[in-house]
Amino acid sequence: MVGSVGNGLADLAASMNGVGKASAEPLPMELEPPADVMAAAAAAAEAEAEGKAAAAAANGKREIVMGRNVHTSCFAVKEPDADDEETGEREATMASVLALYRRSLVERTKHHLGYPYNLDFDYGALGQLQHFSINNLGDPFIESNYGVHSRQFEVGVLDWFARLWELEKEEYWGYITNCGTEGNLHGILVGREVFPDGILYASRESHYSVFKAARMYRMDCVKVDTLMSGEIDCADFQRKLVQNRDKPAIINVNIGTTVKGAVDDLDLVIKILEENGFKDRFYIHCDGALFGLMIPFVKKAPKVTFKKPIGSVSVSGHKFVGCPMPCGVQITRLEHINVLSSNVEYLASRDATIMGSRNGHAPIFLWYTLNRKGYRGFQKEVQKCLRNAHYLKDRLKGAGIGTMLNELSSTVVFERPKDEEFVRRWQLACEGNIAHVVVMPSVNIDKLDYFVNELVEKRATWYQDGISQPPCIARDVGVENCLCGLHK
């Protein structure tokens, strides 16, 4: 049966066997997936992939390679048998699933490089709190009637970030979000509520959630071109801005773009707005999902601060900080939040957040890490990430692989590996002809050497026939960073 426990276990075993580990524990016969189902699923997936590739080739566009259909490997929920309590078979089966799943997580973590998650953390001391349903529903600053909350931790974390971005306690409002996307949704919503007829401006390399917000809120959205580095093209921004002088401007400024890690020039954006008649008629949201927490600790980096006329800043908590569950921090000016908030008697609190119920465990994890590391600890980790990113760039370049690294970034961009299995093995994020590695505190030199050595070895086999050639990435990273046959 597709979606059986057996399919999922087989998938885990296969994924572990394919990465150089000893053979996984044999599966009980009753859990093994039917061969005909797996063969049919594989054939269907292959046919679908070939069809998409042919259509993409006909259109002259590179196919977007999608991940596998999880329905072929999911763990089904089944009703317990009548005698399960006596035999304990169900408990044993679930225990084996979880044990094998944990082993797969360990293996997958070893080969994780493409997404900005810090996997170096130890929250064992917080295990004692997992027995409680902690929910921070409502406003962080106004206690609700639900008493099992962690607002005291949440507000402590928010105070820390407000100090980091230079906004006084009595002048800010914020909350712990469920992810970075929610921070963008909230920041742009605040901007729209402050300027209901405002136009949203965002660079083409902004995170997809920015454009999702425009669709959700039915906002007019203007996409601005980018420079080769990935940062917003301020000349194009000015051209498009002056075409709408009669409408206020809501601007998304990237503190690290998704693919190239580029930092938009916040000061120049503000200057353009003020010099073109938009003074007091603009709202800036800073999307700092990853680099918003790194850039304050980079020497000579431009400052992200509320001493400048910005409206909100959001960061992710599960990226550089290293929280084990997705979460984020959103900070805005208190004067803005009154526009979209309302009191809810049912909660005995105020509704000003995107979500209703909010994970009360996340603020505790963030509080724990901020107290353990502090400013000095984060500064050391930022410097380590930047050093290791330069090391990776130099190793790739030395191996004849085109690569680019922005000055304020730990995101190393390089030519997309030809083999999608290699991409999946190292969990690389790809776009067109480029891929990237995001060097986080959990990524050390040994892991980077392991990756580069394997890439160089595989690459030699991909292009050994002399006919296939590495992709040209000059259009993505510039001629000076491309090492294809034409530009080498």
Domain extents for the chain? 151-372, 375-462+469-481
Integer Cα distance of 370 and 149 in angstroms: 19
> In what helix (H) or strand (E) does residue 254 lie, and over which residues does it extend?
strand 249-254
Of 5-19, 124-138, 364-378, the range with the lowest mean pLDDT is 5-19
Model confidence, pTM: 0.87
- Check if 151-372 and 375-462+469-481 are the same fold: no
Integer Cα distance of 257 and 251 in angstroms: 15
Q: Classify domain 151-372 at the CATH topology level.
A: Aspartate Aminotransferase; domain 2 (3.40.640)
Average pLDDT over residues 418-444: 96
Q: Name the class of domain 375-462+469-481.
A: alpha beta
Quick one: how far is CA 438 from the chain centroid? Answer: 10
Distances (CA, A) of 303 to 7, 308, 347, 378, 422: 51, 9, 38, 16, 38
Residue 55 confidence class, pLDDT cut points 50, 70, 90: very low
Short-list 264, 262, 297, CA closest to 405: 262
The per-type count for the chain, helices as H runs and strands as E runs, is: 14, 13
Average pLDDT over residues 227-252: 98
Integer Cα distance of 123 and 414 in angstroms: 34
Using DSSP bridges, classify how beta strands 434-438 and 411-415 pair: parallel, antiparallel or unpaired. Answer: antiparallel
pLDDT, residue 361, reads: 97
Q: Is the pLDDT of residue 65 over 50?
A: yes
pLDDT, residue 95, reads: 93
Average pLDDT over residues 381-390: 97
pLDDT, residue 261, reads: 96
Helix (H, G, I), strand (E, B) or coil at 199: strand
Q: Are 86 and 21 in contact (CB under 8 A)?
A: no
Annotation says 409 is catalytic: yes
Q: Is the pLDDT of residue 26 over 70?
A: no
Q: What is the DSSP letter of 200?
A: E
From the list 15, 104, 144, 409, the catalytic residue is 409
How does pLDDT run across 243-258, given as a tens digit for each residue?
999 999 999 999 999 9
